[in-house]
Amino acid sequence: MARSPLPACAFALPRRLLPPVARPLLVPLLLNLLLLLLLLGGAASVGACHEPTGAAPVEAAPVEAAAEDAGPGNAQGPGPADAHDELVTAARASLEAGTWDGGLIGAASMHTSVVDRMEWPESPDGGVREGGSTRLGYLRYGAKVAALSEPFANEECREGWYELVRGGYVCGKYATFDLKDPRVRLAPSPPNLTASMPYKYGYATGHGTPVYRRVLSLEDRKKYEPWLIPPPPATDKPDDAPEGDTTAATSDSPSASPSPATTTTASAASSPDASVPWFMRDAGGGRPPVSLDDLHGRGVLVRRMMRGFYLALDRDFKAAHARWWRTTAGFAVPFERVGLQGPPSDFRGSWISSEPDARDPDAGPPKEPNGTGLLLTSGYSARYAIDPEKKKILSAVPLPKNTAVALVGEPLGVGGQTYQETTYGYWVRTADGMLAAAPADLPGDAGAPLGENEKWVDVDTTRELLVAYEGRRPVFMTLISSGKRNAGDPTKDHPTPPGVYRIREKHVTATMDGDVAADGPYSIEDVPWIMYFQGSYALHAAFWHSSFGHPRSHGCVNMSPTDARALFFWSEPHLPAGWHGVYATDTAPGTRVVVHEDPPKKK
């Protein structure tokens, strides 16, 4: 593989990246480096190009992970690698301080990959390259991130690789510093990372709803939307027709065109002709017998949707004498074929503070928790003052529903009820909430015991309860919806698989779809706050239901959008600013996820 010559890597970085105080000091250094390179001649052009040899954490510049392979600059004292490292360090410091005045590179592709070195993980034939680069994450088109403006071209990316200040490289084929480039300027709006819902959502109101690559004229739309074609004019009324009979509407009448939400007509529904599109046939009250593959389009038609498929929406607009929705993928959907999704559930779990109780001015620091937590799910929850020796309740003050508390000590029986002492010293009634039992052994996996304050997530599918821990201290509790079970029908049995996993990748949003034998195909575009931990199983937000605390999913762990967002930004790997997705690496592993259920009760 061709490598970029060292002088470009060492000397062509923009002067404005350096703080003013460092610029006078750098000039003599660069002159000495130039003299050194002239003496070394061509020997430096192969061995010293900055291509990291191993995976680097997202938080670190890839060049730092490659210090051992930096070439002559590393072997012979201060050299080009050191100068480059200083530039990157200075750039990162200015970025963190909010004083960055360097360049911003814009993502020009729906999925602009960020890799840890200047080559693709795949070989030219599409297979995985042994010892190749690692994907760190990706940008979605329109995103803008800080980058160094000097490209490094090679056979893998002839447009040149650009180094991001926060680490990683993007290929110039899929990114540009020209922020007026239509691929960047006209991209859909970025996700709202401060809201529980990063986008606006809608759903298809009828089978066969088309998704177009661009706006079409009404005549062109009729090729794909038969319901836009007026029915043929009615024949004259027969002489022997009964009184009161009316003729069909003519093409000039207001009712000539079927409702846009209509997916069948009388003639198409009853027609046995195989040429009638599936979405115009009568499915007998059920779902049409189609798969996701049957919904794929070609040319200007991207795909069709079934009733209930979800879309992520950018904005509505008018064009070609019609109103449209623009999706977050930049496609066009007829406005009248989309219903707007209402506000998501306002359900949310609770963080457990380790700070003194703000409601008690005399309270000291909380006690050390025993690893057990209680999520108060009753509307009659209260904080109790109890005399443990006399086993007497002294007072009770209401607590908000869904408050989470960490517990200490042993439970106490008072008046036929069991109470738990909290880290703040007050007591709560066990029957008012969902108890998370302390794990006997902290989860670990091969060669990686859990650190003292390491983050991990406990998913209890028996109680539909999720607890986030830091070491043995619970810090967050909420209700979830895991996979819905049906032992009597394998086609409707969707268990969440028990086991110890790690978050493999995180996406601000991504599309989830599939063909389910019992339910038929489903598709939800841009599901928010996804954290994959095993195959296609993930922790993610669910805005289409509010049944948290009850099994509901096809196997994933559903959370309210507010809770999913909170866990997304708490868990690891952390998402760098401007990125849409991030992947765990050996040096930046994902948060551990433990899924378990109670063993079956003995008969």
Half-sphere exposure of 11 (CA within 13 A, CB side): 14
pLDDT of residue 169: 97
The residue out of 381, 404, 436 marking a domain boundary is: 436
Q: Is the pLDDT of residue 47 over 70?
A: no
Q: Which residues partner with 404 through β-bridges?
A: 375
Q: Give the whole-angstrom CA distance, residue 28 versus residue 9.
A: 18
pLDDT of residue 238: 55
Q: Give the whole-angstrom CA distance, residue 87 versus residue 9.
A: 11
Same domain for 361 and 335, yes or no, is no
Q: Rounded to two decimals, what is the model's pTM? A: 0.80
pLDDT of residue 274: 66
Q: What is the pLDDT of residues 516-546, one digit of tens each?
A: 867 789 999 999 999 999 999 999 999 999 9
Residues 265-270 have a mean pLDDT of: 45
Length of the chain: 603
603 lies in a domain? no
pLDDT of residue 283: 75
Which range has the worst mean pLDDT, 20-24, 293-297, 307-311, 428-432? 20-24
Positive/negative CA dihedral, 544, 547, 549, 552? negative
Q: Is the pLDDT of residue 602 over 90?
A: no
> Phi and psi (nearest 5°) for 88?
-65, -40
Number of structural domains (the chain) is: 4
Same domain for 329 and 284, yes or no, is yes
Same domain for 161 and 103, yes or no, is yes
Same domain for 432 and 487, yes or no, is no
* Mean pLDDT estimate for the chain: 81
Residue 224 structural domain: 200-233+256-340
Q: Is the pLDDT of residue 34 over 80?
A: no
246 lies in a domain? no
Q: How many CB atoms lie within 10 A of CB 116?
A: 29
More confident residue, 447 or 244: 447
Which range has the worst mean pLDDT, 39-53, 155-169, 355-369? 39-53
Q: What is the pLDDT of residues 176-215, one digit of tens each?
A: 999 999 999 999 999 999 999 999 999 999 999 999 999 9
Same domain for 48 and 177, yes or no, is yes
Same domain for 117 and 137, yes or no, is yes
Q: What CATH number has the domain bearing residue 376?
A: 2.30.30
Residues 242-269 have a mean pLDDT of: 41
Is residue 210 helix, strand or coil? strand
298 lies in a domain? yes
pLDDT of residue 84: 79
366 lies in a domain? yes
More confident residue, 221 or 490: 221
Same domain for 75 and 137, yes or no, is yes
Q: What is the pLDDT of residues 102-114, one digit of tens each?
A: 899 999 999 999 9
CA-wise closest residue to 429 among 475, 367, 383, 362? 383
Burial string for 349-383 (b: 16+ CB within 10 Å, else e) reads bbebeeeebeeeeeeeebeebbbbbbbbeeeebbb
Q: Is the pLDDT of residue 10 over 50?
A: no
Residues 152-162 have a mean pLDDT of: 95
